[in-house]
Amino acid sequence: MEGVLAVLIGLIFAAAVYLMLSGVLMRFVFGFALAGNAVNLLIFTAGRLEHDGPPLIPAAQTALSAPAANALPQALILTAIVIGFALLTFLLALLYRTYAETGTLDTDDDRLIREDDDPAPAAPSSEGGSV
């Protein structure tokens, strides 16, 4: 089972890297989401795949009687999913805004490269954002 999942994780990573490198930022979003899931699967697999019983120690014993899945990586994944979701949301909002302002999400497009459009302060030697 671990072997199958390992191959699957590899495949998802490959697809994610392909999407991320394709040069269109929208595809980067999908690549990022895919890679995030691959990483979560990786952590999940690292915590052993056992589904016979919960990791509970029977009364009058001090250790688990049968191998059980580790619950901690699953808690880590929950945290990672929440964080990943927040990052994905921000990324989408940022790309939407960028598309609205520049009209492109193609990384080779010159419109996406803007070095400096810093407006000069209202008048030289003014105190800027006066309160």
Partner 1 sequence: MNLLLVWPILAPMLTAAIIVLSRSDVLRAHWIALAGAAVHLAAAGALLAAVIDRQFIVLWVGNWPAPFGISLVADYFSAVMVLITAVIHSAVTVYARRDIDPVLVRSGCYSFMQIVTAAVSGAFLTGDLFNLYVWFEVMLMASFGLLVMERRVSQLSGAVKYVTINLVATLLFLAAVGLIYGLTGSLNMADLHVKIAQVENPALVTAAAMLLMVAFGIKSALFPLFFWLPAAYPTLPATLAAFFSGLLSKVGVYALIRMFTLVFTADAGFTHTILLVVAGFTMLFGVVSAAAQMEMRRILSFHIISQIGYMVLGLALLTPAAVAGAIIYLLHNILAKANLFLVSGLVRHTAGSFHLEKVGGLYKTHGLIALGFLVSALALAGMPPLSGFWAKLLVIRASLESAHYAMAVLAAAVGLLTLFSMIKIWGEVFWKPFPSDSGQPPDAGTPVSAWMLTPVLTLAGITLLLGIFMDPVIRFAETAAWQLLDPRYYVAAVLGGAP
35 binds partner 1 (CB under 8 A): yes
Residue in 11, 71, 72, 78 binding partner 1, rule: CB under 8 A: 72
**CB atoms closer than 10 angstroms to residue 19:** 19
Beta-bridge partners for 106 = 24
Q: What is the 3-state secondary structure (H, E, C) of the chain?
A: CHHHHHHHHHHHHHHHHHHHCCCEHHHHHHHHHHHHHHHHHHHHHHCCCCCCCCCCCCCCCCCCCCCCCCHHHHHHHHHHHHHHHHHHHHHHHHHHHHHHHHCCCECCCHHHCCCCCCCCCCCCCCCCCCC
30 binds partner 1 (CB under 8 A): no
Residue in 24, 26, 39, 68 binding partner 1, rule: CB under 8 A: 39
Residue count, binding to partner 1 (CB under 8 A): 47
63 binds partner 1 (CB under 8 A): no
Task: Kindly write out the interface string for residues 82-121 of this chain, putting x where it contacts partner 1 by CB under 8 A and - elsewhere.
Answer: -x--xx--xx--xx-xx--xx---------xxxxxxx-xx
What are the two backbone dihedrals, phi and then psi, of residue 127, each rounded to the nearest 5 degrees? Answer: -95, 20
Closest approach, Cβ 50 to partner 1, in A, equals 14
1 binds partner 1 (CB under 8 A): no
Residues forming the site for partner 1 (CB under 8 A): 20, 25, 28, 32, 35-36, 39, 42-43, 45-47, 70, 72-73, 76, 79-80, 83, 86-87, 90-91, 94-95, 97-98, 101-102, 112-118, 120-121, 123-131
